Amino acid sequence: MKKETMNINKTNYHIHTYRCKHAAGDAADYCSAAEKAGLEAIGISDHTPLPDGKWGSVRMDIDELPDYCEKIEDARNEFAGRLEVYAGMECEYFPRYEKFYNDTLREEFGIEYLAIALHFYPLGGEEISTHAYPMDKDALKSYTDLFVEGIKTGMFEFAAHPDLFLARYPSWDSYAEKCSERICNAATDSGTALEINGYGFCRDDFSGYPSDNFWRIAASCGAKGVINSDAHCPEHIDIGFQRCLELAERLGISLADPVRRAAKPS
């Protein structure tokens, strides 16, 4: 008898707005797309602004925070009873930003969940882009050290595209396996979900993730997964979902709902 397919994924907590300067649409646009796609809950999680203005070309400006939160609240009210809408942020992890994430994002602006993501990591006295340069073992160690440190803080509801490094590391080897084990064990120990990223399946400019090799380790470590699309336009509200579900089913990844668990919409 043919094994039944998993139910459709009903949530998406990784969504960007036009404010990050490389996406399109605002909260209400994504809500409309989510409703049409049959989703039950979404979270807007744009690239957070940073208090020092770092990497400003790929994230919102800090003075856009009030409008960002206002538009999410407006969408929440407009779609009340039809779609759950949560306010989130995708956050670079460096220890110097922890106070800003806790005090400003969560406490002052009421951001309900945070996702850790490493688009930058320290190497040779600089902080370099994960997207821009090939990774060797030294680079992967630095990436892994920082990711594990951030996950262990317990500040973040999920880790976005944790296997992103495989788009720049030359090939799967014993060192990639060791680093993946460290990331997955940190997630399991802290109760942080790991994101199966639908956008990664659909990119032709930066491919390599999601990786079966990584997710086999996640399954063996008992890490929980969450499926998101990493949408950069409303049309991508559920991009890659079917392949993410198939990966989770094939490899035995247990799925979680870390945002609903942590936050309740007002």
Distance, in Å, from the CA atom of 31 to the CA atom of 11, rounded to the nearest integer, reads 11
CATH number at residue 223: 3.20.20.140
Per-residue pLDDT at 2? 36
* Domain of 173, in residue numbers: 11-260
Per-residue pLDDT at 132? 87
Number of folded domains that form the chain: 1
Residue 266 included in any domain: no
Per-residue pLDDT at 203? 86
Residue 94 included in any domain: yes
Per-residue pLDDT at 96? 98
From first to last of its 266 residues, what are the pLDDT tens digits of the chain?
Answer: 333 444 589 999 999 999 999 999 999 999 999 999 999 999 999 999 999 999 999 999 999 999 999 999 999 999 999 999 999 999 999 999 999 999 999 999 999 999 999 999 999 999 999 988 899 999 999 999 999 999 999 999 999 999 999 999 999 999 999 999 999 999 999 999 999 999 999 987 778 899 999 999 999 999 999 999 999 999 999 999 999 999 999 999 999 999 997 765 44
Question: What pTM does this model have?
Answer: 0.94
**191-192-194-198 Cα dihedral, nearest 10 degrees:** 120
Per-residue pLDDT at 4? 41
Residue 165 included in any domain: yes
Exposure on the CB side of residue 65, measured as CA atoms within 13 A: 17
DSSP string spanning 68-100? Answer: HHHHHHHHHHHTTTT-EEEEEEEE---GGGHHI
Q: Which amino acid is at 95?
A: P
